[in-house]
């Protein structure tokens, strides 16, 4: 599908351009007498043009089918396309939010499965674009190897999660102990198998394209799998670190659309012509207010603020703890100009509400650049949406392009400003040690506490 520059020859098998006859050779001469070096040079000439192709050389992908339910089409048939799209987006948005609330009610494990499902679907949408663009070259094993690498990377990341958060469960299962002990070696061996399969699949005339697609697969894994792993890591810190950032991005997406739809006049960026400054600014203020209120509401409940832990005695995830100072009301002195307006000197807030301002600000000012990046990607390959999974919205990747960027920021924010030593995690690691190692740690800790004056030295009789 990618056009090759005409060099004076005729199209050969598969659409490749055959080289013109060399000087002194008949047009129908026997090409089998060419030297090996001449053949290699000819192939390099023919396929070297791939490096210099422009955006106009990228083939157009046929538009996806409209998946809007027939009942909605009939109900909205009398409206203009602009308002019809508004109602479809609105109805589907409310439906998705309702389903999201249901999954939150079902618990953290279901949220993890949701993240995994979204990750796989996003990977499928991006890989499918690559397959459509380059399908005429029939690259050997491209889709098979892409899914194999997805399996390998997920095995590595989820194995790391099991080792970190399910240590007490692993300790009881001998087979799991073997898998966890040699987890990184097994992961590397699986990746090496895929790497060797890729090398064996290389075809002489498709070298460059195959390496393009190898890089395509790995960048897609970096975007989807790595960042979805960070989403799950954030979830283990407490459901509030999962819900507030995600809901802030959703709020910004909705309010920016509404402000832009009703008040938008000034274009924001050429990559996304429908985005306006009015929508961008309105979305920012709305998101900061929403995040501040959501943080206040969620901080009241242990279910949302306690770290997600696996309890082997009940064989399930639990969210029970003594909330940290981050989720306990504190009194803050107001600036003098606000004291005159509010007629009070102090205000009671949860410290997490202050952190929510930073999260909401990122979601509304920097998060949209994930969407702009996705818009540039779609323009490069001449597509409107990544897929047509959700009527009025496009594909799953179209809804989560900003979420992945947000997940990385939240993880960095937690590790930089929030996270301290986790006693529960330390205890889990101690429980998997040998008895002699546990005893040595106990003696060392006891000596340390006696030196600090926390424990009284035992008297020898």
- 148 located within any domain: no
DSSP 25: S
pLDDT for 19: 44
Q: Are residues 354 and 381 in the same domain?
A: yes
- Which of 65-69, 208-212, 427-431, 455-459 shows the lowest mean pLDDT across its residues? 65-69
* Residue 303 falls inside a structural domain: yes
Range with the poorest average pLDDT among 110-119, 192-201, 388-397: 388-397
Highest mean pLDDT among 5-9, 259-263, 420-424: 259-263
**What pLDDT score does 84 carry?**
78
Res 168: pLDDT? 65
H-only helix segments in 1-80: 36-48, 70-75
Out of 17-26, 48-57, 343-352, which region has the weakest mean confidence (pLDDT)?
17-26
With a cut of 90, say whether residue 351 has pLDDT above it: yes
Look at residues 58, 87, 106 and tell me which one is the last residue of a structural domain. 106
How far apart are alpha carbons 352 and 349 in whole angstroms? 8
pLDDT at 383 over 70: yes
Among 79-88, 150-159, 289-298, 392-401, the minimum mean pLDDT is found in 79-88
Please check whether residues 431 and 348 belong to one and the same domain.
no
Within this chain, do residues 321 and 429 fall inside the same structural domain, yes or no? no
Which spans in 166-182 are helix H? 167-172, 174-181
Same domain, 217 and 306: yes
Q: Would 6 be classed as within a structural domain?
A: no
Structure confidence at residue 36 (pLDDT): 47
- Res. 138 pLDDT band, cuts 50 70 90: confident
Per residue in 263-317, pLDDT (tens digit) is: 999 999 888 888 899 999 999 999 999 999 999 999 999 999 998 887 766 777 7
Residues 93 and 221 in one domain: no
Are residues 384 and 298 part of one domain? Answer: yes
* 368 and 429 belong to one structural domain: no
Q: Which of 69, 179, 161, 152 is nearest to 115 (CA)?
A: 161
**Domain residue limits at 259:** 109-139+203-420
Give CA–CA dist 383/400, Å, rounded.
17
Regarding whether 353 and 283 lie in a shared domain, the answer is yes
Q: How confident is the model at residue 59 (pLDDT cuts 50, 70, 90)?
A: low
Q: DSSP string covering 362-392, please?
A: HHHHTTHHHHHHHHHHHHHTT-S-S--SBTT
* Rounded CA separation 54/382 (Å): 13
pLDDT digits (tens, 9 = 90+) for 230-270: 999 999 999 999 999 999 999 999 899 899 989 999 999 88
The pLDDT value recorded for residue 88 is 79
Read off the pLDDT band of 65 (50, 70, 90): low
**Contact indicator for 393, 257 with CB cutoff of 8 Å:** no
Q: Give 177 or 249, the one with higher predicted confidence.
A: 249
Cβ(377)–Cβ(126) under 8 Å? no
**In this structure, is residue 10 part of a structural domain?**
no
CA–CA distance, 161 with 174 (Å, rounded to integer): 18
Give me the pLDDT at residue 2, please: 39
Mean pLDDT (whole number) for 4-16: 40
pLDDT in tens, 78-92: 777 778 777 877 888
The band of 25, judged by pLDDT with boundaries at 50, 70 and 90, is very low
Number of domains within the chain: 3
Instruction: Out of 388, 405, 420, pick the residue that ends a domain.
Output: 420
The phi, psi pair for 317, rounded to 5°, reads -80, 140
Taking only the tens place, the pLDDT of each residue in 195-205 is: 999 999 998 88
The answer to the question of residue 177 being in a domain is no
Report pTM.
0.77
Predicted confidence (pLDDT) at residue 46 exceeds the cutoff of 60: no
Higher pLDDT, 320 or 423: 320
Give residue 64's pLDDT.
57
Residues 246 and 278 in one domain: yes
CA-wise closest residue to 149 among 177, 126, 168, 132: 126
Comparing 165-174, 180-189, 326-335, 399-408, the range with the smallest average pLDDT is: 165-174
Residue 33 inside a domain? The answer is no
Calculate helix-pair angle for 108-134, 239-263, nearest 10 degrees.
50
Q: Are residues 269 and 353 in the same domain?
A: yes
Residues 249 and 396 in one domain: yes
- The answer to whether the beta carbons of residues 165 and 424 sit under 8 Å apart is no
Inform me whether the pLDDT recorded for 151 exceeds 90. Answer: yes
The pLDDT score that the predictor gives to residue 63 is 56
Of residues 76 and 448, which shows the higher confidence score?
448
What pLDDT is stored for residue 240 in this prediction? 95
> Does residue 76 belong to any structural domain of this protein?
yes
Question: Residue 299 region, left (φ>0) first, then alpha (ψ -120 to 50), else beta?
Answer: alpha
Residue 167 is predicted with a pLDDT of 67
The pLDDT, as a whole number, for residue 424 is 65
Say whether both 281 and 318 belong to one domain.
yes
């Amino acid at each position: 599908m990618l056009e090759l520059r005409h060099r004076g020859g005729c199209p050969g098998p598969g659409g490749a351009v055959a080289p013109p006859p060399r000087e002194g050779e008949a047009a129908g001469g026997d090409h089998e007498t060419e030297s090996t070096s001449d053949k290699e040079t000819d192939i390099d000439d023919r396929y070297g043009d791939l490096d210099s192709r422009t955006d106009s050389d990228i083939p157009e992908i046929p538009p996806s089918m409209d998946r809007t339910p027939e009942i909605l089409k009939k109900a909205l048939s009398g409206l203009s396309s602009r308002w019809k799209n508004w109602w479809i987006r609105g109805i589907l948005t409310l439906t998705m939010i309702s389903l999201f609330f249901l999954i939150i009610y079902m618990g953290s494990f279901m949220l993890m499965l949701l993240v995994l499902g979204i990750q796989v679907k996003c990977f499928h949408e991006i890989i499918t674009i690559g397959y459509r663009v380059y399908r005429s070259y029939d690259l050997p094993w491209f889709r098979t190897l892409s899914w194999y690498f997805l399996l390998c990377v997920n095995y590595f990341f989820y194995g790391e999660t099991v080792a970190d958060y399910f240590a007490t469960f692993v300790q009881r299962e001998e087979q799991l102990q073997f898998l966890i002990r040699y987890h990184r070696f097994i992961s590397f061996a699986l990746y090496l198998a895929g790497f060797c399969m890729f090398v064996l699949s290389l075809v002489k005339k498709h070298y460059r394209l195959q390496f393009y697609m190898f890089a395509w697969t790995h960048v897609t894994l970096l975007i989807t799998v790595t960042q979805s792993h960070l989403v799950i890591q954030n979830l283990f810190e407490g459901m509030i670190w999962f819900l507030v950032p995600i809901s802030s991005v959703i709020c910004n997406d909705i309010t920016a659309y509404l402000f832009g739809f009703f008040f938008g006049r000034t274009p924001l960026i050429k990559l996304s012509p429908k985005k306006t400054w009015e929508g961008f600014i309105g979305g920012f203020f709305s998101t900061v207010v929403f995040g501040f209120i959501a943080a206040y509401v969620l901080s009241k409940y242990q279910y949302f603020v306690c770290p997600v832990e696996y309890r082997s005695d009940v064989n399930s995830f639990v969210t029970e703890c003594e909330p940290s100072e981050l989720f306990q009301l504190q009194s803050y002195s107001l600036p003098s100009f606000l004291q005159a307006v509010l007629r009070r000197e102090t205000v009671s807030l949860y410290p997490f509400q202050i952190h929510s301002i930073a999260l909401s600000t990122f979601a509304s000012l920097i998060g949209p650049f994930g969407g702009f990046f996705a818009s540039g990607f779609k323009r490069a390959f001449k597509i409107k949406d990544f897929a047509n999974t959700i009527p009025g919205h496009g594909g799953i990747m179209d809804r989560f392009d900003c979420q992945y960027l947000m997940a990385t920021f939240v993880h960095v924010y937690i590790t930089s400003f929030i996270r301290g030593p986790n006693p529960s995690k330390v205890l889990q690691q101690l429980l998997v040690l040998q008895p002699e190692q546990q005893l040595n740690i106990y003696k060392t800790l006891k000596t340390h506490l006696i030196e600090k004056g926390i424990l009284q030295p035992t008297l020898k009789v």
